[in-house]
Amino acid sequence: MRVGVLTGGGDCPGLNAVIRAIVRKGVQEYGYDFTGFRDGWRGPLEGVTVPLSIPVVRGILPRGGTILGSSRTNPFDAEYAGQGVRRIRDSLATYGIDSLITIGGEDTLGVAATLSDEYGIPCVGVPKTIDNDLSGTDYTFGFDTAVGIATEAIDRLHTTAESHMRVLVVEVMGRHAGWIALHSGLAGGANVILIPEQRFDTDQVCEWVTSRFRASYAPIVVVAEGAAPATGGMILKDDSRDSFGHVRLSGVGEWLAKEIERRTGKEARTTVLGHVQRGGTPSAFDRWLATRFGLHAIDAVHEGVSGVMVALRGTDIVRLPISEATARLKTVDPALYAEAGVFFG
C-alpha cells in the first residue's frame, strides 16, 4: 500500500505537522509506503515527487511552511486542456499510489472531491485555511498562529499609540471572512473591529475613535483586508500607475487611516501585518490540531474511505464529505460580531 501526499494553496503553519503525523502513523502502524508530490496538484500533474519517510519527517513538527512545497495549480485549468485528470491518474499509476491525501483549502479540496466523486480516484482531504473560513470544521490549523501573531502586534501597537495619542489601524488577513480580525481584535483589546461580512460606516468608525480619545486613550482599529465601507468611493487597488508603470497597491488599512485623519483631525498610522501572519512555527494548538488531523486522515485511508475530509468538532476529530465542507464559506455570524460591539469606542 502506497499513499501519496500533497499540500496546495497558500502556506500555513501546521502543514508539516500534518505530513509528519500521516507518515509516522502510516509507516509504524499500518506499514505503508509514501510518496510526496511537490507543489500541490503540480506534483501529480507533472510527475514531480519528493521522498517521504520517517527520517524525512523528523524534526519538521515545529517548522512553518511545507516540505512538499505548494502552488495554486489546478488540473481543471485551461492550461491542462482537459488532460488534467488523465495526467494525475497516470502519475498515480506510475508511482503505484493507492490513495492520495490532499491537504489544502477550498480549491485543493474541491479538486480532490471531484477526483474522488466523479473519477473514482481515492482521495482523503485535510482542511487548511489560515482564514478559518472552511465550513464543517470548528477551526483549521494556522488560524490560531495567525491570531496569536496579530494579537502580539496589537499589544505592541497599544503602547506606541498611547505615547503619541494617535490612531493605529492594523490591517490583518481575511479577504472574505473576518475571523482573524475578530479574534485578534478581541484578544488585543481593539477599539474598533471591521470585517468583510459587514460593510462599515466610516462616520461610525470616526465616532468610536473620537470617543476613545475623549476617555484619554488612543484607539486601535483592527480591519480585515477584505473589509470595505458601506458607502463612498474607496478604491482599494486603483489603476493609477507609478513611474515604472506598476499598478499601485493600497489596502483598506491605508485608506481608512487617511479617512480617519481627514475626518477627525487626529494623526493616524497604518500597519499591514501581511505575510508574517502565515509563516513561522505553529502555535501549540495548531501543532496539536494538525497532528490529530494527520493521524485521522491516515486512519481514513486505512479504512478505505474516499471523498471525505477530517474536521474538528468540539474536541473530536470527525469525518465529513469534502463536497459538503467546500460548498460554502464559513463567515462570521452577525450575532457573534455584535457580541464584540460592547468593546467598540
Residue nearer to a second copy on the CB measure, 151 or 326: 151
Beta strand spans in the chain (E): 2-7, 33-37, 49-52, 99-104, 123-127, 167-172, 192-194, 220-224, 268-272, 308-313, 316-321
Q: Do the beta carbons of residue 196 and residue 174 sit within 8 Å? A: yes
Annotated ligand binding at 278? The verdict is: yes
Annotated ligand binding at 269? The verdict is: yes
Q: What is the sign, positive or negative, of the torsion defined by CA atoms of 304, 136, 290, 279?
A: positive
Contact string (CB under 8 A) for a second copy, positions 264-303, x = contact = -----xxxxxxxx-xxxx-xxx-xx--xx--x--------
Q: Under rule CB under 8 A, which residues in 120-139 are in contact with a second copy?
A: 138-139
Q: At 119, list the grid cell.
A: 473519477
Least CB distance to a second copy at residue 242 (A):
6
Q: Counting contacts by CB under 8 A, is residue 66 touching a second copy?
A: yes
Helix 143-164 vs helix 284-302: crossing angle, to nearest 10: 160
Strand order in the sheet with 167-172: 192-194, 220-224, 167-172, 268-272
Separation of alpha carbons 15 and 102, rounded Å: 11
Q: Under rule CB under 8 A, which residues in 236-255 are in contact with a second copy?
A: 238, 240, 242-244, 246, 248-250, 254-255
Q: Do the beta carbons of residue 14 and residue 105 sit within 8 Å? A: no
Residue nearer to a second copy on the CB measure, 121 or 190: 190
3 state DSSP class of 319: strand
Separation of alpha carbons 126 and 294, rounded Å: 8
Least CB distance to a second copy at residue 162 (A):
5
Segment near a second copy (CB under 8 A), from 79-87, 121-129, 143-151, 198-206? 143-151
Q: Under rule CB under 8 A, which residues in 4-63 are in contact with a second copy?
A: 10-11, 13, 15, 24-25, 28-29, 58-59, 61-63
The site that binds a second copy (CB under 8 A) totals a number of residues, namely 90
**Binding-site member from 89, 258, 266, 302 for a second copy (CB under 8 A):** 258
Q: At 268, list the grid cell.
A: 493616524
Least CB distance to a second copy at residue 88 (A):
21
Annotated ligand binding at 292? The verdict is: no
Annotated ligand binding at 129? The verdict is: yes
Query: Residue 117 catalytic?
Result: no
**Binding-site member from 181, 183, 197, 221 for a second copy (CB under 8 A):** 183
Separation of alpha carbons 36 and 5, rounded Å: 5
Q: Among all chains, which residue has been given the C-alpha cell 475578530?
A: 182
Least CB distance to a second copy at residue 80 (A):
20
Among the listed residues 11, 39, 131, 299, the single catalytic one is 131
Annotated ligand binding at 197? The verdict is: no
Least CB distance to a second copy at residue 289 (A):
9
Binding residues for substrate: 129-131, 166, 173-175, 225, 269, 275-278
The catalytic site residues sit at: 131
